[in-house]
Structure 1
């Protein structure tokens, strides 16, 4: 969440414009309401649209797009479910039009929002034979897309073969719904569910909401401060039914029948339903599903499948809660738990290093004989073989019949930290050859990434500090210092740093300082790699987290960011400009001109947004160049920015723009915005130069432009505008007379000076 200013400075003070999904939905619903109240061209109508457009632009800026899922009574964002009153109203209208996904892309304009809102029904379906998507395309809307998805025929199968007719196999959602309706402890009106929505996925949500409302629970949160045992019992029942059925469906997955397709399909649908459940119930549902899996001998494939669809942090959290409840884990499932939490050691040893079990046993007997092993320490190669071969030849489930008492040592992050420190010590062995050093570095990268993914930033920082100390220590020989430097380079690689990205959304504010310290210790190269990760990351929420982390580093990101301005990828350049604008440093006239000269208009739009950061360095020549851009989106954004930032250098070029005849109205929209911008700049000396806009005779100015000119007088100093207001009172145009009368009486809406 952050704050932005708007082109229309009178709309809202800059500190109050919050760019968040909730704020956008609120402003969009308000604009929808005002569209039905005010006629086209009314300031209130346009201001409401501009507010919604400004927040939407801020949301899209870091990622390039925004997608909202639509259900009957809520909107689903990338990271949250919105059930506020504005969200419910918009969702209901979109639902009537059979919209499943509403997608906004870079470059969306306020008039496109107006077209979308104008097509939304108010209480009943519109009488149109065309879909909403078709009508938007007909109106020329290019940056708003709708997708209609029907899940009613969806069936989860374990193979890609078509289900046999009459097999009677129900989908996961149908099975959950049937159990909810048949449970005698719950009171659900099944008839109302079927009448309102045939989709079982949505019926499950409605059934859960119906039960929770009976106990004054809203979206999984208790409405009363007093605990209600009956209410807690009902929540536990719901969590158990939904979670246990999920676990049973996942347990049906087996290694022989699965070729990735059905397995991922089942897990994906389980993940979708889990995300749609109330926040307060998600942990309980996940725990019930995992509980069902860990107690089965044959459920390892299902547990791995669930781990692929749910984040590792959530899975580990669920496993730890079950361990605290003394849940017994099936021995075979413990191996799956091991692979989920600590990745198996890589097969990095060459074939010549592997020995058969008998030869390895002979070596081990010689090592662990009665003699003092300290007299002949293990060689690096033998140490590695012992670790890898023991893991290969002694399966975990063959050593113990029940591993649940040992789960603490398997899943605890302390094991990873201890292993990482041992690897640092191992790296200091002067007799390791190059291949062995490479193997140790590879292991250190894996353990370091696991620490980052587990949120152990303090221990990770200590590992980096120890390696940095090795690189500069005079007590270390040159090969050791070089090995430590190679290891640090490995920790800076994007694949390793991606462990931070995995948990950015869950990092506490109190821990963000440790993340900053870690990145500073890794050096500027790590910032460069994070910028590369930002450019390649396909997931929206993760890109936002990376962007926020980089922005929070402040001026430290500037050198690495500026160095990437010559990158060939347009989205990378746009990200850099947006980041520099957010940080407030690193933007120079040279950087701005490079962005304005880019071949992609999306980069030029972002460069225009950076203009306020330079302020007095902007020249009339630069303004003129921007106003002549071939893409209308760039010029329109520039005119808006000139006004909101009060760029005085734009006054002359804007006057020249207004002086040029526009007989067929091709640039009318831009001219209207230019009149507003001149008023926001507030230089009354331009009024005589645009005098034709204040008279109705011998002029090529349109009526709409004349009205806009008189409305802009509100933004000029009162003493300077008074003569023009008096002329307007004598106008033959009733609208002009009304505007001027309001200005004289001080009743004109806005923020006049």
Structure 2
């Protein structure tokens, strides 16, 4: 059902990518003209992520509270500078929320970005939705902050008591504890807006499908149970439009159900409901992409019998102008389009130039030329050229202070874009160039301020988020960038590693930490004392991969840790150096009652070729099996003995080859094959 789809939680990574790309597209539309490669690529990425969301649910509402983004009543991470920038840019327009709906086109997304990056005075006001419609934006809904609804006045105890009483009545209506007359009194006495406000304050968990149906049914029934009128329907629509977005769809769905159940009464009411009201209702259904019931289809058939005046569709000409498709043309423009007057407005020279361009036949580009041209106008190439120009201007000796500030500010903006798009090598070039310019021009405080921005905690946190999400896709540039930051970035990398949940991203972050060698190991040792087991495991893995023998004393205490994953990681580290302490710890694992731990000990023995545990392995090999599983469990033992290559294993292998079994013949044959392979 549609209602169920709305409740499906969104993947955090998908939502994060969608917000980031929406912000990039907003910024690019403000910087470049339509059709620019940077604009096209960012719009396409944002559009693709939104479509992935639409596969999960039919719409997504993003709410804004100053510098915070809220989705599904959950605030996104406030520390993320991209989220904060996007929230602030939209909040400045007095926008409370934006709803993106299934069916959205890339053209609508571009037009919407063009609007939100225009002057704030023309955007969020009482004509916002009308403005969106004129721009062809039909799958984006914007909710504006209504400052007129805020008031400051004293409330008497009697007024407060009356409000509390009505709230209890509304709650009773939703829960079904009111009688028919009492329920009708609630919707009659309260204005649609007041009722909607009280419903908005009821927690979502207190509402269900029956609650919505009770309110709609009460609105559609009068005390005498006569057919409902235009006023009844309009009051219902006003109430629904005043609800918060997530409730609006639920109540409209309920309206569809209630109307479909009462077909006969709706047919009797057709003559009393105005055409405008029905159109408003159908428009509300269409906005939420609800299926129109059969009863309303009947009404549409009734509307289709109306005779429309086709003269209304003809161009309308006034005394001094022409109106065509709602566009008013001036008298001058009217003369341009009149036959015979074209030459008065277009010179002969201009016409010759146009004819020359039309006749010119360009040479077709070959494959390599097309590839080079595409690369030249790609988004990374454009950003690289732009950053190069900004850096060159910033280093010019004759540049004025005011202009230098503008160039530096533009570089900061480009830095954020480069982070979001994974162009780490270009960002590294900006930082190294600024460092060089700072050394050559120590008196230029603007250069120091620019570096302070790139070295700030907020920017580094944004860098960590970028590395976690897309860093492994741009490995070479990522290593170049972290090298620019030096040791100062190691604690941030470790913190990102602790927070990361996906194994692929963890391995990438560990690779970045290992890039710093002993400095990275020193920071990892400090975190071994963390109480969380997974932090200890990750730090031990770093020490093991780094391969510094002097770190072994820090590892040994964890060979008998209560957590098996920590214990195994510590033993691995010691076995890598053939440390006797690690070998003794490995032997202890063979006596464990946990089959998984014993299996890990067997695998480690073969991986690190530990000859000291051959007796333990042979003991497992000769152990009699009472089931097919017991016999098959000898397979990893055989494999490990083969990896170790100790002659003592030959006698055990001969015993296996002599095994016979009627009940478990396939299992015996399997381990014999393993012996042969070994």
- Global fold match (TM > 0.5): no
Normalising by structure 2, report the TM-score.
0.37
Larger radius of gyration: 2
Normalising by structure 1, report the TM-score.
0.34
Quick check: which one's helix share is greater? 2
Question: RCO greater where, 1 or 2, for CA within 8 Å and sep 6 or more?
Answer: 1
